[in-house]
Amino acid sequence: MIPPNNNKVETSPNFMEELQKLIQMKKEGHLSEEEFETAKNQLLGL
């Protein structure tokens, strides 16, 4: 029996809002590429 894949990416409206905030902060220069990647991975649960 194959176990279920529990590695789904959360796609709730809250998740999308948070991701867009991170993208905006990076565009505005508030986050470095490394900080952005770290925050994004935390949001994705990686």
DSSP line for 3-43: PP---PPP-SHHHHHHHHHHHHHHHTTSS-HHHHHHHHHHH
Report whether 22 contacts 42 (CB < 8 A).
Answer: no
Give the pTM. 0.67
pLDDT at 27: 97
Residue 13 has pLDDT above 90, yes or no: no
pLDDT at 46: 83
